[in-house]
Amino acid sequence: MDKAKSFVQKNLGTIIGAVVLTLVFFIVPNKGVVNAYIMKVINLGLIYFVAVAGLCVILGMGGQPTFSTAGMMGLGAYSVALLTTLKGWAPIPALLVSVLWVTLFSVVMGLALFRLKGSYFSFASIGFTSLIFTVLTNWLSLTGGPDGIKNIPRLGIGNLVCQNYYDYFRVLFFIALACYLIVQRIRKSYLGRALGCVRDNEIAAQCMGINAYRTKVISFVIAGAFAAFAGGLYALHERYISPAPFQYDQSAIYLIMIMLGGVNSTGGALIGSLFMTWLPERIRFLAAYSRLIYGIGVIILMNVMPMGIMGLVDNFRYKMRKKMKKNQSAETPVKEAE
């Protein structure tokens, strides 16, 4: 009996998590609980989370602030839209092919951009996104220019197609969960640790066998792949795209999402993307003042919790554990942490 008890005791957290997640999966996506509008906002939040998960790797772990997310999303969205509308491909193969070619493209861009350091890199990534936006707006024959592309098919395999936002939620739920687990896996693997070293002091990292340049390029490629995947999902979800959402100021929103959520934790990125998609909708009733409050809100939140919501939670937990330590008398030399 105690073996099962120790099993439960050991990963109590994962069990609670699994139970709560299954509850969410079955309760949330039906008409009674949530109307179509809120469902759409949550879906958008999950799609943005996929892109922000990429930022978790490059900014959260690697410490490189990049504005290229919107550009990569634009490439992903337009290649899916063109493959499905012009070439008549099914959504899934189109999604896979566009993620593939954008990943290869970001290898090339990563190699070029990471010759630069710090603010130079950030600014070059702004240039990158603006370049892509200008091409998308002006290449009339291919992208249809500012009028965009209509009638992108719904996400689905064969006849199993997502009819409404509730079906989309069920698919996006698993996609978001998969991205969450992948990013957590990276964080625990050698790549995560290497990125941590590169973020905090590149010289020390070089002396510990970490090729800083190559590691940063890998993180850029991962971020590119996530962003392209999110772009494809955005196209299949909105079913109409134009160049406007893939501009520089949308990239800024993604940075705000991860910084507010908590730059050191993937859960924080999820909270950040849901919160920042939900906030403008929630303060919609303020009409003319909504974006003013939105901007001031970002400043206040950055001042109150520079490390984001999860930063606050971690500090709180860290202090709480310290207190627990104090009143515990004996201390084993090295206690194996979870």
Site for another protein in 87-146 (CB under 8 A): 112-113, 115-117, 119-120, 122-124, 126-128, 130-131, 134-135, 137-138, 140, 145-146
CB of 183 to another protein, least distance (A): 11
CB of 299 to another protein, least distance (A): 4
Total of chain residues touching another protein, rule CB under 8 A: 131
Binding residues among 145-184 for another protein as defined by CB under 8 A: 145-148, 150-151, 184
Query: What's the full length of the chain, in residues?
Result: 338
CA distances for 107 relative to 23, 104, 200, 310, angstroms: 40, 5, 23, 31
CA distances for 13 relative to 20, 71, 312, angstroms: 11, 37, 19
Alpha carbons 44 and 40: distance in angstroms, whole number: 6
For residues 173 and 264, the answer to whether their CB atoms sit within 8 Å is: no
DSSP H or E run through 157? strand 156-157
CA distances for 240 relative to 77, 155, 174, 187, 237, angstroms: 10, 13, 23, 35, 8
How large is the C-alpha radius of gyration of the chain? 21
Is residue 199 involved in binding another protein (CB under 8 A)? yes
Paired residues of 149 in beta bridges: 241
CB of 231 to another protein, least distance (A): 13
Binding map of another protein across residues 36-75, x = CB under 8 A, - = no contact:
xxx-xxx-xx-------------x-----x----------
User: Judged by CB under 8 A, which of 20, 100, 108, 142 binds another protein?
Assistant: 20
Q: Which of 97/177 has CB closer to another protein?
A: 177
From the list 68-76, 82-90, 97-105, 317-325, the region that binds another protein by CB under 8 A is 317-325
**Nearest residue to 59 via CA among 201, 269, 202, 232:** 269
Tokens 């997502």, residue? 162
Read off the DSSP letter of residue 66.
Answer: -
Q: Would you call 193 exposed, middle or buried from its count of C-beta atoms within 10 A (0-12, 13-18, 19+)?
A: middle
Binding residues among 209-248 for another protein as defined by CB under 8 A: 209-212, 215, 218, 238-242, 244-245, 248
CB of 177 to another protein, least distance (A): 10
Please give the angle made by the CA atoms of 173, 71 and 135, to the nearest 5 degrees. 135
From the list 27-35, 68-76, 83-91, 98-106, the region that binds another protein by CB under 8 A is 27-35
Binding residues among 274-293 for another protein as defined by CB under 8 A: 274-275, 278, 280-282, 284, 287-292
User: Judged by CB under 8 A, which of 77, 192, 223, 329 binds another protein?
Assistant: 192
CB of 145 to another protein, least distance (A): 5
CB of 100 to another protein, least distance (A): 17
CB of 44 to another protein, least distance (A): 7
